[in-house]
Amino acid sequence: MTTANRMPTRAEVELLRKIHEGLGPETWDRYRELVARRRAEKLTPEEHAELIALSDRIEEANARRIGYVAELADLRKTTLPELMDELGIAPADV
């Protein structure tokens, strides 16, 4: 039986919840606003500090998330890339 055809365990459900948990829309809206202001070269020093702090929060959240995905891949005895594909998680463009 494949993972798609079986009921997830409690541990898997909890990891999936954590994987799909994210920063709120207000945070993302503010981040995009600050990035746009930076591109327009209109960012104040205070906004620059705020953008750095938000970027750090996003990076930390993404690191936690990929850790949860790795734990889930281990539980399901699959690879990280296969699970990311199954969950529709694309690697970030660098």
Both tokens assigned to 94: 């660098």
Q: Give the integer Cα–Cα distance in Å for 34 and 42.
A: 9
- Domain ranges for the chain: 8-87
**pLDDT recorded at residue 4:** 58
Most confident of 3-7, 57-61, 90-94: 57-61
Alpha-helical segments (H) within the chain: 10-20, 25-39, 45-75, 80-87
Q: What percent of the chain has pLDDT over 90?
A: 77
Computed from CA positions of residues 88, 67, 24, 32, in that sequence, does the dihedral angle turn out positive or negative? Answer: negative
